[in-house]
Amino acid sequence: MKPVLFLLLNIILPVVLYAQITNDLNKVKSIAVQAQLSGDSNSIKLSAGPAPLTNDSISVKPFVEPGPAAVYQQTLELLLKNNIFLISNATPVATANQERKPSQTEFKFYILLGTILFLSFLRFFYTRYFNNLFRVFFNTSLRQSQLTDQLLQAKLASMLFNLFFAVTGGLYIYFLLSYHGWIPGENSLLTLSMCVGILALIYFIKFLTLKFTGWLTDYKDVADTYLFIIFLINKILSILLVPFIVVLAFSLPVIKSIAVMISLLMIALLFLLRFLRSYGLLKHQIKVGWFHFLLFIIGIEVLPILLIYKGLVVLLNKNL
């Protein structure tokens, strides 16, 4: 029964709708004809169907929906107009562009990074040697010490820490000269290499001189003890100088001046401690007074460094 009713609806309903549309169109046509004959366009009232064409309606352009490109353009213009940060409606201002001149000082960051990585390498792979350094440093008596023997037996670790002292000491001297304005900007890397190389050469010559003097005077043990104290203080100093080097490289001038004063005071105290420790251990073996030992320290330690410092200052002042 339901299929039959569905079929009848599909047949009868289109016919009825078509007849209704035809009747509406006929009504519209008859009303339009009557309005044209009477000349009164206001009397036309349509209850349904399209509006009649007039002269005014012919001139109106049909509405065209904008495409995606037009919508994007309108949205972009609206955003630019209302954005308070762009201020596209304000009067344009011309600014002079200046060419940036690179300072060519990026190598400082990478050198300091490599120095800190070198210290981390030593701290990680030679932990026992690193800890024994500070234990022996704070130990008042180095004689008959097991920790001292352990340090003397670690030849490779001792050489690496001495190399680290040459690097940090050269960096500190370089930044100290740069702080006083004695380094030309175009030869910074060369000057840094010279500072590291000259410091390493000074202590290498000092090592050979003391070794030869101990062999010549038959005081090998005394020379070895004195060399051990020298390089022990140098290794401790190299570790303590790392934060001062970073401050001298990247801080403000006021902070740099404070760091220079503190670091120089620390170096002076360590040199004084080296003199006292050396004299306390060697006075019974070489039978020498403190005044003569002080003259020996000044002659072999202080004067060469002062002469090299004076030579560097004269050389750098000529290049400025």
Q: Enter the tokens of residue 242.
A: 């790392």
Do 12 and 131 lie in one domain? The reply is no
Is residue 80 assigned to a domain? no
Nearest to 190 by CA among 314, 102, 312: 312
Do 117 and 37 lie in one domain? The reply is no
Q: Calculate the dihedral angle through the C-alpha atoms of 158, 159, 160, 165, rounding to the nearest 10 degrees.
A: 90
Do 140 and 220 lie in one domain? The reply is yes
Q: Calculate the dihedral angle through the C-alpha atoms of 208, 209, 213, 216, rounding to the nearest 10 degrees.
A: 60
From residue 21, give the alpha-carbon distance in Å to each of 14, 31, 33, 296: 11, 16, 19, 127
Do 10 and 110 lie in one domain? The reply is no
Is residue 65 assigned to a domain? no
Is residue 311 assigned to a domain? yes
Nearest to 133 by CA among 110, 115, 150: 150
pTM greater than the 0.95 cutoff: no
Amino acid 111: pLDDT: 92
Is residue 73 assigned to a domain? no
317 phi and psi, to 5 degrees?
-65, -30
Q: List per-residue pLDDT tens for the chain, 320 residues long.
A: 555 555 555 565 555 544 554 555 455 455 544 544 454 444 444 444 445 545 444 455 555 566 677 777 888 888 877 777 777 777 777 777 777 776 666 788 899 999 999 999 999 999 999 998 988 888 766 655 677 777 888 889 999 999 999 999 999 999 988 888 777 655 678 888 888 998 898 889 889 988 898 888 888 888 888 888 889 999 999 999 999 999 998 888 899 999 999 999 999 899 888 888 877 777 666 766 777 777 777 777 777 667 766 776 677 666 65
Do 12 and 127 lie in one domain? The reply is no
Amino acid 235: pLDDT: 94
Residue type, 107: F
Do 37 and 112 lie in one domain? The reply is no
Residue reference for tokens 């003259």: 295
Domain that holds residue 4: 1-44
b/e map 203-217, b = 16+ CB within 10 Å: beebeeebeeebeee
Amino acid 157: pLDDT: 93
Query: Residue 228 in contact with residue 236, Cβ under 8 Å?
Result: no
Amino acid 316: pLDDT: 64
Do 129 and 270 lie in one domain? The reply is yes
Question: Cα(240)–Cα(234) distance, rounded to whole angstroms?
Answer: 10
Q: Calculate the dihedral angle through the C-alpha atoms of 191, 197, 199, 205, rounding to the nearest 10 degrees.
A: -150
Amino acid 192: pLDDT: 87
Amino acid 231: pLDDT: 92
Do 37 and 115 lie in one domain? The reply is no
Is residue 99 assigned to a domain? no
Amino acid 74: pLDDT: 81
Number of domains in the chain: 2
Is residue 83 assigned to a domain? no
Do 3 and 129 lie in one domain? The reply is no
Is residue 58 assigned to a domain? no
3-class DSSP state of 62? coil
Nearby residues of 146 by Cβ (< 8 Å), 6 or more positions away: none
Amino acid 35: pLDDT: 45
Do 25 and 132 lie in one domain? The reply is no
Do 159 and 35 lie in one domain? The reply is no
Is residue 246 assigned to a domain? yes
Do 138 and 287 lie in one domain? The reply is yes
Residue type, 124: F
